[in-house]
């Protein structure tokens, strides 16, 4: 599975807003500068997030973007669905038999399960040492 830059940048933007939820709003330009990405490209991605109802914006001196829901209610799968055209872990081929299709379906379902059950809060609260220990054994 490959996540495009749209998905990655959308996630960066949403994680930035999640880290500052209830504290301050952020402009697209400030987040783009912080992550060293094009503000024009990020603006297009944020438009998709806004259209999906994941973020809201306020104009004015104290304006900017903020999450439409608390980070613990915002799932990563929603973000990718809003900005990615297609999220496919493995595409089936007409040459695939029942066993291969069974495996591809299980992989797809596992990826969907992770995306649909991981919140932004989960991501900002993770224990880095715990993750590093887990990755050591894979």
Quote the pLDDT of residue 101.
86
> Hey, what are 25's tokens?
């709003």
Domain boundaries 5-137, CATH class: mainly alpha
Quote the pLDDT of residue 116.
93
Provide DSSP, 39-96.
HHHHHHHHHHHHHTTSEEEE-STT-EEEESS-GGG-BHHHHHHHH-S---SS---TT-
Quote the pLDDT of residue 138.
47
Give the Cβ contact number of residue 6 at 10 Å.
Answer: 18
Sequential pLDDT tens for the chain (138 residues):
677 899 999 999 999 999 999 999 999 999 999 999 999 999 999 999 999 999 999 998 888 999 999 999 999 999 999 998 777 666 677 788 889 888 888 988 898 899 999 999 999 998 666 655 555 554
């Amino acid at each position: 599975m490959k996540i495009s830059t749209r998905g990655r940048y959308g996630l960066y933007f949403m994680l930035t807003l999640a880290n500052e939820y209830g504290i301050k709003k952020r402009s697209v330009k400030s987040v783009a500068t912080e992550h060293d990405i094009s503000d024009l490209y990020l603006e297009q991605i944020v438009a998709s997030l806004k259209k999906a109802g994941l973020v809201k914006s306020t104009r004015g001196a104290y304006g900017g973007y903020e999450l439409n829901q608390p980070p613990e209610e915002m799932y990563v799968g929603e973000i990718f669905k809003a900005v990615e055209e297609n999220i496919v872990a493995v595409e089936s081929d007409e040459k695939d038999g029942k066993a291969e299709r069974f495996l591809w379906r299980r992989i797809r379902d596992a990826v969907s399960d992770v995306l649909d059950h991981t919140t932004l809060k989960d991501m900002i609260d993770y224990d880095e040492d715990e993750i590093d220990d887990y990755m050591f054994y894979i």
